[in-house]
Amino acid sequence: MSESDEKFELSGEADYRFLSLVMSLATAAWSQLGKVAHPVSQKIEKDLDQARISIEFLRMLQEKTEGNLSIKEQELIDNTVADLELNFADEIRKTEASGESAPASKGPDIIIPSGAGGKGPEIIKP
């Protein structure tokens, strides 16, 4: 294995192992936020404490890898963390306002941050 195979430059190439790690943590966080069904039970199961931990892991990974990622890797982790933080804040707001979690029968609201579409944040309601 050559040195170029072992280390990716800041060109734009992405290491699939890094992408898989980020996506694995993000998938767990989305499930814990109650935004997607749990992969095993296929039910919406909200656990905001666990979601907070998963998002913190991603933030830590973002901080520790700063300056060492390709452009695609940096965009992926930045966008993932921003999306999850916005949706986490929305879930906390809904929980505090109602005193309990949103009913599972209604689909979750998903917030798209401002960078995604070139306009301000928007909430997509099912």
Question: φ and ψ at 68, to 5 degrees?
Answer: -120, 10
Q: What is the mean pLDDT of the chain?
A: 79
Q: Report in angstroms the alpha-carbon separations of 51 from 20, 56, 68, 81.
A: 18, 8, 26, 12
At residue 39, the pLDDT reads 76
pLDDT band (50, 70, 90) for residue 104: very low
Largest CA-CA distance found in the chain, in angstroms, rounded = 57
Q: Is 10 helix (H, G, I), strand (E, B) or coil?
A: coil
pLDDT band (50, 70, 90) for residue 102: very low
DSSP secondary structure letter of residue 109: P
pLDDT band (50, 70, 90) for residue 9: very low
DSSP secondary structure letter of residue 115: H
Q: Is the pLDDT of residue 3 over 80?
A: no
Query: How crowded is the C-beta side of 58, counted as CA atoms within 13 Å?
Result: 30
Q: Which two tokens stand for residue 27?
A: 């998938």
pTM, rounded to two decimals: 0.68
Work out the percent of the chain whose per-residue pLDDT is above 70: 68
Q: How far is CA 97 from the centre of its chain?
A: 23
